[in-house]
Amino acid sequence: MSSITTVELVTVDPSELKFSFELNKQISSSLQLTNNTDNHVGFKVKTTNPKKYCVRPNTGVVLPRSSCEIIVTMQAQKEAPADMQCRDKFLLQSVVASPGATPKDITPEMFSKEAGNAVEECKLRVVYVPATSVLTQGTEEVSSPIDKGNLSGPEVRSRISQFFQERSLISQLTTDKNAAIEQCNRIRQEMELLKRGSNESQGGGASLFFVIVVALIGLILGYILKK
Q: What is the pLDDT of residue 80?
A: 85
Does residue 198 contact residue 210 with C-beta atoms inside 8 Å?
A: yes
Closest CA to 122 of 6, 1, 3, 18: 6
Q: Do residues 135 and 84 make contact, with C-beta atoms less than 8 angstroms apart?
A: no
CATH superfamily of 5-130: Immunoglobulins (2.60.40.10)
Cβ neighbours of 115 (radius 10 Å):
9
Q: Count of H helices and E strands in the chain?
A: 4, 10
The yes-or-no verdict on residue 143 having pLDDT over 60 is no
- pLDDT of 123 reads 96
Q: Is the pLDDT of residue 31 over 70?
A: yes
**3-state percent breakdown (helix, strand, coil) of the chain, nearest 5:** 40, 30, 30
Q: Evaluate whether 11 touches 36 at the Cβ level (below 8 Å).
A: yes
pLDDT bracket for residue 144 (50, 70, 90): very low
Distance CA 62, CA 37 (A): 10
Q: What number of other Cβ atoms are within 10 A of residue 210's Cβ?
A: 19
- Given the DSSP bridges, would you call strands 120-130 and 16-21 parallel, antiparallel or unpaired? parallel
Domain-wise residue ranges, the chain: 5-130, 153-226
What gap in Å lies between CA 176 and CA 50, rounded to an integer?
34
Cβ neighbours of residue 116 closer than 8 Å, sequence gap 6 or more: none
Distance from C-alpha of 187 to C-alpha of 185, rounded to nearest angstrom: 5
Q: What is the DSSP letter of 112?
A: -
C-alpha distances in angstroms, 188 versus 99, 174, 200?
71, 21, 19
Q: Pick 129 or 135 by higher pLDDT.
A: 129
Highest mean pLDDT pick, 79-83, 137-141, 155-159, 201-205: 79-83
Q: What is the pLDDT of residues 71-82, one digit of tens each?
A: 999 999 999 887
Single pTM value for the model: 0.57
